[in-house]
Amino acid sequence: MQAGKNKKLTYLLICAVAGVWGIIIYKVLFNEADAAYEPAFKSAKVAQESYDQYLVKNDTFKLALNYRDPFLGGISHVSENVESVTATPVNFNPPPPPPPPIDWNLIKYSGYIVNPVTKKLVAILVVNGREQMTAEGQTFEGVKLLQNRKDSILVSWQGKKKYIRQ
């Protein structure tokens, strides 16, 4: 491509962009007020309706129920004499409410210590704000330590088991 043509085209495009932005800015800043705007058409006057037109009128139609029943496959026959049905009371025993959820936030695993004699891990448990060192199989405040790992412990409390992370 020639360098002269590209330069002329660039200047032409810059002028076009400046012109378009100039028109946009002029329209935004020097626009006439909305109060001076008058629509070209006149609205037709709406006749005042009386409130009697809004009274509820009796229905004057009758349902034609001679179509095919989609569930039974035949034509439904509706009799004019409908017998009243009496409801019989049914004993309903609702299921017992579920037990309240266990608040596992009361149990915290603070860390572990290695017993120098037995070389086993001893977990540091905090239950209800009380802290104690507990080995596997021991119970503290109703919480039984089932398994002790370096990053988490498996505890049993109120019949449920859960891993608690450090």
- DSSP secondary structure string for all residues of 141-152: TTEEEEEE-SSE
Residue entry with tokens 């149990």: 107
d(CA 110, CA 132): 10
Query: Which of the four pLDDT bands, split at 50, 70 and 90, describes residue 95?
Result: confident
Q: What's the rounded Cα separation, in Å, for the pair 30 and 63? A: 65
Which residues have CB under 8 Å from 140's CB, separation 6+? 125, 127, 132, 134
pLDDT at residue 51, as a whole number: 61
Stretch 127-146: mean pLDDT: 89
Two structure tokens written together for 34 = 């909305």
CATH architecture of residue range(s) 105-165 = Roll (2.30)
Strand partners for 121: 114
Question: Cβ–Cβ contacts within 10 Å for residue 109, how many?
Answer: 20
Dig out the tokens for 92 from the structure.
């309903």
- Which tens digit of pLDDT belongs to each residue from 50-64? 566 667 777 788 888
3-class DSSP state for residue 67? coil
pTM over 0.75: no
pLDDT, mean over the chain: 79
- Supply 140's token pair: 């503290």
